Amino acid sequence: MSANRDLDATLKYHNGTKHSYLSIRAHPHFLDWQNKPLLFKIYPTLEVLRLPRDLRQTGVAALSAISAPTMVPSGEAIPDLDALAQLLFLSAGVTKSKKFAGSEVFFRAAACTGALYEIELYVVCGDLPGLSAGVYHFGAAEFGLRLLREGDYRSVLTKATGNEPSVAHAPLTIICTGTYWRNAWKYRSRTYRHFGWDNGTILANLLATSTSLGLPARVIEGFADDDVNRLIDVDTMKEVAFSLVSIGWSANPAPTSNASLEPLAHAVMPYSKEEVDYPAMRLIHQSSSLAEEEIIAWKWAKVTVSQPADSASAAHPLKSLTGDALPSDSIEQVIQRRGSTRRFSRSPITFEQLSTILECSTRGISADFLEPYGLLLNDIYVVANDVTNLPAGAYYFDRAKGQLELLKKGNFREEVGYLGLEQDLPADASADIFFLTDLNNLLARLGNRGYRAAQLEAGLLGGRMYLASYAQRLGASGLTFYDDDVINFFAPHARGKSAMFLLAMGMPTRGN
């Protein structure tokens, strides 16, 4: 059995990695630029199968791709090599690069903390049109695949996920891993939170792209960690599987494979001259890992979300854009245009724009830990700094009623700037979105694995809001925060909850 029910492990990690005004000053961190990690995982001895670069124009509007309900398989949905290339490029590919002072900066399809891109993708597939069955690593630098294991190993994932139907019938499954050091170089032990955020933004792109291609997709958090890590043969002291995504549908489940999972020992290019170890990250990952015999029970554990009491303050029903007012830019166009805004202009956005972002991004996620469909683990709180037709103030978003409930009225730019680690971005933004969860309730239901799920969901919702913002020609940027001060700011409504993520949005300055 795993340590998933040793709930003190999550509380110790979460509390130990909280930011506060004092902790930031008591434990300053200076970046060693000479030891900055390589931003790509490279297997130098393995040949690269280059992926096709012709981007398929689906014509599916970004907001439609984000908000579409779960796609129920109605027949065979087998992606070909072109579709796989599109999925990988629009979720984790290099969309552009710029040269600064002799160095080159790479921009990826999904937002990532510190632009360090610690999430790696692996493909496990049967025979696809244009690609033989195998286990592959996606090399973003070369935009290609490297074959790690030849043959159909999908049944290994079927077993590891407790015979999850979407995995058993998936022509391909993408494994997302987190690489400790690549993000810890800057963020130290707090990096494990970033695994969820940065994996989540990738999944937002991946799910939207799958929808645009007519491919069912489902996020899987219930899997036996050791089995998945063994399949892709990662050094778990440095890199670990964090989530799976099943893509497509085949009427015939994956055939059983009797092949043994021998260690591969493929050479990997070092990320830095030396790496600093942060044991707290490995401990929380180990404590939130599941054994094969636990998967079924974990999947049957139901999360109950208690609804807060009705707010006595004013309620503002959402007023989303409709019809011709909705932007028509395709999901491909929006992802390629998306960036992380570095400066906001303090100009207003409309209540209709904010409503569209909230409504489109929170309709539901196809995931094994979010049943029934539409359940979310995170509550959403909003600080409106400058939104036309919405009084400035702090709000709770009641999804069930489709409205923002005023918690306190006033101009809180200074306060929200402080909450966002004393940065200008949240203070200058038109609106700031905070993701909070009832961590004690979540852990009681899902164990430590629930912590992974909550961070992943927050990143995925934030990723959707990135896309919904850019679809409307707005800007957005994910931020870190002073944990307990966020809860105190939204108290008493948010009392007992824990802060997961923060997204600032608004009108970018020119050049952003």
Q: Please indicate, yes or no, if residue 15 is contained in any of the structural domains.
A: no
Is residue 298 within 8 Å of residue 449, measured between CB atoms? yes
Mean pLDDT by 10 residues, the chain (512 residues): 90 97 92 95 97 93 93 88 98 88 82 95 98 98 97 96 96 98 97 97 98 96 97 97 98 85 93 95 97 91 68 85 93 91 94 98 95 93 98 97 97 98 97 97 95 98 97 96 98 97 94 63
At which of 259, 277, 300 does a domain end?
300
What phi and psi values does residue 239 have, to the nearest 5 degrees? -150, 140
d(Cα 92, Cα 111) in Å, to the nearest integer?
9
Task: State the pLDDT at residue 300.
Answer: 85
Residues 359 and 284 in one domain: no
C-alpha dist (Å) from residue 63 to 181, 324, 349, 468: 35, 13, 17, 6
Q: How far apart are CA 210 and CA 213, in angstroms?
A: 5
287: closest CA among 16, 64, 85, 11? 11
Token digits of residue 396: 């709770």
What radius of gyration, in Å, describes the C-alpha atoms of the chain? 22
Q: How many domains does the chain have?
A: 2
Residue 370 domain boundaries: 315-506
Coil, strand or helix at 279: helix
Q: Are 271 and 182 contacting, i.e. CB atoms less than 8 angstroms apart?
A: yes
Show the 3-state SS of 148-192.
Answer: EEECCCHHHHHHHCCCCHHHHCCCEEEEEEEEHHHHHHHHHHHHH
How many residues does the structure list for the chain? 512
329 with 180, same domain? Answer: no
Give the pLDDT confidence score for residue 306 in this predicted structure: 62
Q: State which H helix or E strand residue 505 sits in.
A: strand 498-506
Could you tell me if residue 32 is inside a domain?
no
In-domain check, residue 397:
yes
Residue type, 257: S
Instruction: Report the 3 state secondary structure along 438-465.
Output: CHHHHHHHHCCHHHHHHHHHHHHHHHHH
Domain boundary pick from 300, 333, 355: 300
Assess whether 337 and 252 both reside in one domain: no
> Do 284 and 407 reside in the same domain of the chain?
no
Q: Are residues 192 and 320 in the same domain?
A: no
User: How many other C-beta atoms can be found within 10 angstroms of the C-beta atom of residue 253?
Assistant: 15
Q: Is residue 199 part of a domain?
A: yes
Write down the pLDDT at residue 312: 55
> Domain of 476: which CATH number?
3.40.109.10
Q: Which residues pair with 408 in a beta bridge?
A: 394
Cβ 363 vs Cβ 378: under 8 Å: no
Separation of alpha carbons 196 and 480, rounded Å: 13
**CA atoms of 231 and 179, how far apart (whole Å):** 16
Residue 14 lies in a domain: no
Rounded to two decimals, what is the model's pTM? 0.97
Non-local (6+) Cβ contacts of 470 within 8 A are: 62, 334, 337, 338, 339, 476
Q: Does residue 308 belong to any structural domain of this protein?
A: no
Task: Kindly state whether residues 225 and 339 are assigned to the same domain.
Answer: no
Residues 202 and 195: their CA atoms lie apart, in Å, by 11
pLDDT of residue 310: 56
pLDDT value at position 456? 98
Q: Which helix (H) or strand (E) holds 134?
A: strand 134-139
Residues 296 and 320 in one domain: no
User: At which residue do the structure tokens 């990738």 appear?
Assistant: 202
213 located within any domain: yes
Residue 3 lies in a domain: no
- In whole angstroms, how far apart are CA 390 and each of 348, 360, 434, 506? 11, 19, 18, 14
83, 139: one domain? yes
**Opening angle at CA 7, ends 500 and 297, nearest 5:** 95
Query: Which of 236, 267, 300 is at the close of a domain?
Result: 300
Instruction: Say if residue 267 is in the same domain as residue 225.
Output: yes
Same domain, 255 and 331: no
Alpha helices in 213-260 (DSSP H): 225-232
The torsion angles phi and psi of 93, rounded to 5 degrees, stand at -80, 165
* Beta bridge mates, 387: 349, 390
Closest CA to 170 of 139, 111, 215, 136: 215
Query: Residue 404 carries which side chain, given as an amino acid letter?
Result: L
Q: What tokens appear for 312 in the block?
A: 């006595």
pLDDT at 132: 98
| Same-domain pairing of 260 and 351 | no
Q: Would you state the pLDDT for residue 72?
A: 79
- The three-state secondary structure class of 491 is coil
Find the largest Cα–Cα distance for the chain.
Answer: 64
Q: What pLDDT, on the 0 to 100 scale, is given for residue 308?
A: 61
Q: Is 217 exposed, middle or buried (0-12, 13-18, 19+ CB in 10 A)?
A: buried
Domain co-membership, 286 together with 327: no
